[in-house]
A and B are shown apart, each in its own frame.
Chain A
């Protein structure tokens, strides 16, 4: 028996990263995965989330060490740049592989 978490029985999907799995956070992570960084305005436009929702989900992702939020100044205007950390990228790669394996094995 391998130590594959999917073989643990009781909760067959408990190995899924719940931080990433929530639709809003998954949307944020996908947007950040394909770029180096983007500012909060761009993220709001791309995800369609409200500022409040975005702030809440970014806090959760930041606490997990998946995203980095940096304040910058563009001229005199403040700008919040958001990027995925290496830990976040790795977590998303694992999540993607796991989801593909799980969903790919389902019959039609």
Chain B
């Protein structure tokens, strides 16, 4: 009974402090690179089409940081997580780093040897990597909707490929698929963020900040 309450408090504390919609928006800003870079690469070249998103994602990150400091912290407060959750987040960071390194290596391989590999192999790999990455995040962060994002993004490249082969979309359908997924994530993130802001009045530090204690 008490153990259940402890587990619930641990999860609730983590969600109250970190599941605020900010991650959804930040990941969506990163995914928008996959949507727009293929379109920009026509005029800017592959490198600059991707590079232009570094300052954009950076700007989104800084904006969200500001939103957290100015809007969220006065409302929800600050927490330093316990060792259990810290260890879990460290394991997730390592796992995602490995997934990213594998994705980068495979992406480079597919780019260089595309003619030799061809077919659906890159699409299958991309779907698999996205599903693994988001599933790991969903499990480690206890945020089930990340599984849903992973599923949408895993199915997306196949839909994109189909749209492209049928002539309904350009660039293997990436602008449509990743653009839609990013828009969905931004919408969910904004709804969550607005709900948190509306649901909590700024509390400051109350009487505990004064000299009466």
Contact = CB atoms under 8 A, between A and B. Distances in A.
Interface of A: 30-31, 33-46, 51-52, 54-55, 58-59, 69, 71, 74, 77-81, 96, 99-100, 103
B16 A30 contact: no
Interface residues of B, number: 34
Given A45-B16, A45-B76, A35 B208 contact: no
Interface string B77-97: 111111111000000000000
Contacts of A103: 1
Q: Which 5 residue pairs spanning A and B have beta carbons closest together? A: A42-B77, A41-B77, A51-B206, A34-B10, A36-B80
B2 A38 contact: no
Nearest to A50: B206
Nearest to B1: A103
A69 B205 contact: no
Given A46-B16, A55-B213, A34 B9 contact: yes
Contacts of A79: 78, 205, 209
Interface string B84-112: 11000000000000000000000000000
Interface in B1-25: 1-3, 5-6, 9-10, 12-13, 16-17
A81 B205 CA distance: 10
B81 A36 contact: yes
B55 interface: no
Contacts of A46: 9, 12-13, 16
B79 A37 contact: yes
Given A31-B13, A52-B207, A55-B207, A45 B77 contact: yes
B58 interface: no
Contacts of A59: 213
A37 B80 contact: yes
B206 A34 contact: no
A56 B106 CA distance: 59
Given A42-B16, A77-B205, A35 B78 contact: no
Given A51-B208, A69-B213, A36 B82 contact: yes
A52 to B, nearest CB: 7
B37 to A, nearest CB: 37
B203 interface: yes
B77 A35 contact: no
B200 interface: yes
A40 to B, nearest CB: 4
Contact of B205 (A36, A40, A99): A40
Contacts of B16: 42, 45-46
B206 A35 contact: no
Contacts of B212: 55
Contacts of A42: 13, 16-17, 76-79
B79 A40 contact: no
A55 B207 CA distance: 8
Contacts of B122: none
